[in-house]
Amino acid sequence: MEPQTLATESSSSATTTPWWLDWDNLLKHGEIYAPKVFGALVMLFAAWIVSGWVSRLVYRSLKLAKIDETLARFATKFTWWGMLVLGLVGCLETFDVKTTSYAAAIGAVGFSIGLAFQGALGNFAAGIMLLVFRPYKVGDVIIVGGQAGKVDEIDLFSTTLDTPDNRRIMIPNGSIFGNTIENTSYHQTRRVEVTVGAGYAADIDQTYEVLMQAVCSVPDILSDPVPEVVLLELAESSVNWSVRAWTTATDFSLVKQRTIRAVKLAMDKAGIEIPFPQMDVNLRGPATVSVSHPSAAPNHKAA
What's the pLDDT tens digit per position in 49-63? 888 888 888 888 877
Q: Report whether the peptide linkage leading into residue 164 is cis, meaning its omega lies within 30 degrees of zero.
A: no
Q: Is the dihedral of CA 262, 268, 271, 275 positive or negative?
A: positive
Task: List the beta bridge partners of residue 247.
Answer: 190
Which structural domains are found in the chain, ordered by start? 18-97 (1.10.287), 135-183 (2.30.30.60), 189-270 (3.30.70.100)
pLDDT at position 113 is 58
Number of continuous H segments (helices) and E segments (strands) in the chain = 8, 8
> Global pTM?
0.58
- Is residue 81 pLDDT above 60, yes or no? yes
Note the pLDDT tens digit of each residue in 200-238.
999 999 999 999 999 999 999 999 999 999 999 999 889
